[in-house]
Amino acid sequence: MTLVQMQPRPVGAGPGHKTVAEVMDAAGPQVCDDMSVEVALSVMAAARTGRLVVCDQDGQCTGLVTHAELAAVRDSSAYTDHVRLRDLLGGHGSFTSPVTMMADAERATRTHRLGALPVVDVQGSALGVLALSR
């Protein structure tokens, strides 16, 4: 798990100095990492969302998957119904804290080419998602 560097919010910070907590979206649907790709796609369709926060058996956030990623896996020639979400999370080990400054979080999402970044508390539980427009 890679935690984006946290910096305390300066006293008197203006609107340009917001923290992640001030702009993050709700976490949305959270699913277990042992879920199959097909079931995850069904959950996304039912929830009318393009992403899912993935958690382990202990409720700790392990990453985030998108509809596009899951569809690509499902449509690949190597796909079987035994593929689980935990098998796909290799590139999604980045997280951020709610107290991270937006400038730092934006830099991390652009550096790692992430469309969204899970926001976690100190225990690793998902609090929300920081989604940046590209």
- pTM for the predicted model, two decimal places: 0.77
The pLDDT tens digits for 26-43 are 888 999 999 999 999 999
What pLDDT is recorded for position 2? 47
Which stretches in the chain have pLDDT values below 70?
1-16, 90-93, 133-134
What pLDDT is recorded for position 92? 52
Long-range residue pairs from 75-83, CB within 8 A, at least 24 positions apart, any chain: 79/37, 81/36, 81/37, 81/38, 82/36, 83/36, 83/37
Q: What domains can you pick out in the chain, each with its CATH number?
A: 2-131 (3.10.580.10)
